[in-house]
Amino acid sequence: MVAAEPRVIRLLMELRRQGISDPRVLGALEKVPRQLFVAAPFLDQAYENHALPIACGQTVSQPYIVALMTQALAVNDRTKVLEVGTGSGYQAAVLAQLCRRVYTLERHKPLLQQAEQRFRTLRIHNITAKLGDGSRGWPEQAPFERIMVTAAAHDIPPLLVDQLQVGGIMVLPVGEAGSGEQDLVRVTRLEQGIDIQHLGPVRFVPLVEGIADT
């Protein structure tokens, strides 16, 4: 087994100090080479614990936030997951190490194409990606046991709750973009209604309806 390089080890130690305790999540972040998901001008920062810009005005999330959301989602190797907002593909690649199948939606065609190429390069075969309006989910593949939304919604989207099976979990940021920090929440669908757990302040790009022109 090849030993992790020092900057990866340093990042994993930082994540542990920040409260990421699930060894499976830490192992997934160790396996996925973040430098493949980062734009060329920022390669030297690939293992720094902060978000980085990518094309189409989007970002690849801070490793701590990726780890926190993945840990909160509580997936296992039988879980079927919907991800809203493929972006660079980094979060989907991390989830793919831990669950049975990831369905991921992206509204920007160039981002989707780049992410799919990265999945092929890494020989990740349990991700199904398509161009689509993430705010509407993927009803043809519903219900999902888990849903992760990687852009901030104004409120918890009822359409996505409807695609979550009873007992399922959705993790997403909620709040207005540009109005300061949003709130990361963990939503559990119950027989009647939902249960909401607050995980802390975050900052994400907004969840936008429709498919982008680019």
Active-site residue list: 61
Cα–Cα dist 59/81, whole Å: 21
Q: Are residues 87 and 111 in contact, defined by beta-carbon separation less than 8 angstroms?
A: yes
Q: What are residue 156's phi and psi, to 5 degrees?
A: -65, 120
Helix, strand, or coil here: 32? coil
Most distant pair of Cα atoms in the chain: their distance: 49
Helix, strand, or coil here: 152? strand
The CA-based dihedral angle spanning residues 13, 14, 15, 21, taken in that order and rounded to the nearest 10 degrees: 50
What is the sign of the dihedral through the CA atoms of 51, 54, 57 and 59?
negative
